[in-house]
Structures are given as C-alpha cells and as structure tokens.
Amino acid sequence: MKLIAALATLLLAAPVTAAARPAPTAAATPIQVYGAWHCSDDACIWGTVRTVAEFDAANHWLIDRGDGQPSVNLVVLSFVQPEKLLHATTDATTVDGVPRGMTTDIVDYFTSHGVRVMLSIGGITYVDAWNQALAEDAAQLGRDAAAVAQRLGVGIEIDYEASSNPDLVGLQNFITAYRSALPYDPTGANPAARLTIDLAAGDRWLIDLDRKATADWLRTDTPVLDYANAMVPSKQPSASAAEGNWQEHVDGKPQYSPPIPPLAPAKFTGSLFIAEGSKVRPECTSYGSSVQQATAGYVQSVPPNGAGTTAGMLGFMFWAAERPSTRGVTTAPPNSCEGGVGAGAAALGVPVPMPALRTS
C-alpha cells in the first residue's frame, strides 16, 4: 500500500523549515482535482463483483456530501496487477486481466454523478509484477492499459513504486504505446486519455522515477502525462511537513547528481490520509481541524520556482476510501467522510465534473 511504500520518505527526510521555502502568493487558484483512491472492501484487491446497492451503502458519502453534491470529483480504483493485465489473466479475483470488482456498474455509479474514474496499475505490492511485465513486453502492456481505459471509459494511473533501479526504458515504452493509442488531450474530454503517475511525497524517495517523470513526462511545454500525485508519506504529516514535501517537487533537487528539475505546481496534487491504521482522521470527519484545511492556502497559492507560470497545485488526493488495509479503519459508515472530505469540497468550491486542467 502507499503508506508502506512511502516509509523511506520519512526515514530519509531532513527537516524543511518554512524559512527555507518560498512564501506562497496571496492569490488563491481554484482547486481542480479533489479525489480519493478507492480500495473496495478487500484491501485494494477488488476481487469480487459488488452490487450497486451494497456498494452505495458503504460509499454513499463519495457521491453525496449531505447536500446532494459529490464529496470528490475523482475516484481512482486501486489496484490492477500489471502482469495479470499483460497476460489477460482470468482467475478467482481477475477477469481478462482486470480485477473482478472493477465493473462497468461501479464506474457508472461514479460517472453518473459527474465523478471521474481512473484505474491505478501497481501499488507497492505489485512492484515485482511491474518489473516483470515491463521486461516482458512494455509496449503491449501500454496497449492493453489503453484498451481497458477505452472499454470502461476511465483514465489510467501509473503507480510504479520501484525505489531502486526502476525500469525507466520499459516505462517509457509503456507510456509511448499508451499515447500512440490515446494521445494527450489537454481538454480532458476523453476520460481514457487521462494518464497520470504517482511520485513520492517529496523528492527523497523514488528518486530516479521523480527525475525522469519531471524532466520528460510532466513538462509544461511538451506534456506527455497529465499530472502526478505526490503520494502520502508513511503516516499523516503535519501541515508544515506536508508543505515541505510538496515544496521539494516545486523546487527540484539541484544538489543531486544528476539533479531533479523543478516541477510546475500545476502538474501535481498533494495527498493525505483519510483512513490510517486504526485512526479515524479529521481529514475524513472534521474539515475544520484537518490537514487539508490547514494546507489549503498553500496548495492554492504556492508559486512556481523554475517550472510553470501559474501559482497553486492542482489539488488534493486522499488515501483511501473504504478499506485500504485488512485490519485498519474503513471509511464505511459510521466513519464516512462527509464532514471532512465532503465539507472540504464545499468550502473549497471543488468543481464537479472536473474541468479542463491548468497546464502551465
């Protein structure tokens, strides 16, 4: 899971003080992306078909924050196993390479309320599967991902959490093949053309991936991927720690050899926990005391520092809806998140459906 995957972020972290970061500008840029990863009821396997009625009973807060409006404008169904996708595997939890629970009915449940849907390929559990699939036939994996995206009317998220020696040549071939089938679409009109990537919370983990993605795929002049998600660290950060992590992407790491270039604020989101271990987070239940409330000003106004021209990140992502771990808390009632994520959507004026995204 992302929380395990990002452990090295904190282990390697050096304190980042507010004085070391450029101060955000006064103007606030509207939030555009406000979404949640979703793990179904089986800790991100999505291994069984669910009825819409049963799914709604556990997840109604996502499409109704209490006033009839959705709490989010994006849901990312997590995770697809890369090797199974490549081999079109059918087994107890998978049909033709796609988890059995990721059905048209579940996609339509969200899209009928204006909520965009994506599928996430990977996660920390499937790093080896990513490596094996990329080595076997990265281009075919990209074509397969594009075909699933078109069939279901969803976007695709790359969650390749290889902390050392990632297969960047293979991942480039995956992306090239996907984009050959579904070219980059700045309007966002075609859901299947939406292709994103997960990076670490800051620039001190997944270093090779951060460098490659920032330099080649997340540029504002020649965009390849739509945007990145800066993942959650190993536990819920304070507001200052979260901002420090996100600022690393904005600044890049010029001291590294080779350096990581700066990332335009308009090309990434920041992520926070809503379900973490046994804790019901304020991020789920109480927007007024949440980290997203405390960091909203920063997210909406952080200025570029070497890449991009507009201030403000794209928005927030939340890890994770329903049951992200077998033993941890869920976001199903009575822990549903209308009061946190939903209230935040109202307070921040989150647009539903998601508009065309800023690109610079």
pLDDT digits (tens, 9 = 90+) for 169-197: 999 999 999 999 999 999 999 999 999 99
> Closest by alpha carbon to 229, among 252, 195, 204, 254?
195
223 cis-preceded (ω within 30 degrees of 0)? no
pTM of the model: 0.93
Chain centroid to Cα 65, Å, comes to 21
Q: What is the pLDDT of residues 272-284, one digit of tens each?
A: 999 877 877 899 9
CATH topology of domain 2-13+24-348: TIM Barrel (3.20.20)
pLDDT for 25: 44
pLDDT for 117: 99
The residue extents of the domains of the chain are 2-13+24-348
- pLDDT for 360 beyond 80: yes
> Closest by alpha carbon to 118, among 62, 174, 158?
158
Q: What is the pLDDT of residues 69-111, one digit of tens each?
A: 999 999 999 999 999 999 999 999 999 999 999 999 999 999 9
Per-residue pLDDT band for 13 (boundaries 50, 70, 90) equals very low
Strand ranges (E), 100-223: 116-122, 155-159, 195-199
pLDDT for 277: 78
Q: Yes or no: say if 6 and 233 are a contact pair by the CB < 8 Å rule.
A: yes
> Closest by alpha carbon to 215, among 168, 247, 177?
168
**Mean pLDDT over the full length of the chain:** 93
- pLDDT for 34 beyond 80: yes
Question: 186 in helix, strand or coil?
Answer: coil
Q: What is the pLDDT of residues 304-354, one digit of tens each?
A: 999 999 999 999 999 999 999 988 899 999 999 999 999 999 999 999 999
Give the integer Cα–Cα distance in Å for 242 and 331: 22
Give the integer Cα–Cα distance in Å for 21 and 328: 35
Per-residue pLDDT band for 55 (boundaries 50, 70, 90) equals very high
Percent of the chain residues past pLDDT 70, beyond the cut: 93
Give the integer Cα–Cα distance in Å for 3 and 305: 28
Return the number of other C-beta atoms located less than 10 Å from residue 263's C-beta.
Answer: 32
Long-range pairs, 59-64, Cβ under 8 A, ≥24: 59/321, 59/322, 59/331, 59/332, 60/336, 61/331, 61/336, 61/337, 61/338, 61/341, 61/342, 62/36, 62/38, 62/110, 62/115, 62/321, 63/109, 63/110, 63/113, 63/115, 64/338
pLDDT for 82: 98
pLDDT for 276: 79
- pLDDT for 1 beyond 70: no
Return the number of other C-beta atoms located less than 10 Å from residue 51's C-beta.
Answer: 10
